[in-house]
Amino acid sequence: MKRKLCLVIAVLAGSVVLTAQDAVTPPAVKMGLWQNTSTNTMTGIQLPPDVVAKMQAMGRPVPGTAPTTTVSQSCLTPEKWQKSLGNMQQNKDCQFTNVHQSASGMSADMLCTTEGRSSKGHIEAAFETQEKINGKVHMEITSARQSQPIVMDMTFESLYQGSDCKGISPDSPKIVH
């Protein structure tokens, strides 16, 4: 699920628009190195006590106890843009509806279904400039293994760092912290 969400954010950062013929408008942002800061809050997660204890012993945050912030860097190239878009269009597990885009932003509803789990949510991104994007994502995840849905709220900000990707591969974002 997290991998799909990262793909959605990457596509939003590039401002995708699909028409009836699946044509793509050029991205409304610059190509090159981007730094992404996302803060994620999750509620409704039911973890066994031994899993919680192991995570705490390793110094890892326990989902659902506090917001987590991740900073990553990624390299956006025209080729990566096309590949990510193609993967998104071919993903039969997720559907996007109510897609709206303007020069200042984009929003969409998303529904994903996989083995025993479904996720529905809403994504919004504001294109402040060609070098700054911010947005939010709200998802509700239901599973046969959980008695209640997991609710995830995330905010993100992406800042253009320059045309030089500084050795970061377009296929491998780098976690900064």
pLDDT tens across 93-142, in order? 888 888 887 878 888 899 999 888 899 999 999 989 999 999 999 999 99
CB atoms within 10 A of CB 147: 8
Are 131 and 37 in contact, with CB atoms under 8 Å apart?
no
Q: The pTM is what?
A: 0.75
pLDDT tens across 33-91, in order? 999 999 999 998 888 889 889 988 998 878 777 898 999 999 988 888 777 666 666 67
Distance CA 111, CA 101 (A): 19
Q: What is the dihedral of CA 79, 136, 163, 101, to 10 degrees?
A: 60
Burial level of 119, CB count in 10 A (0-12/13-18/19+)? buried
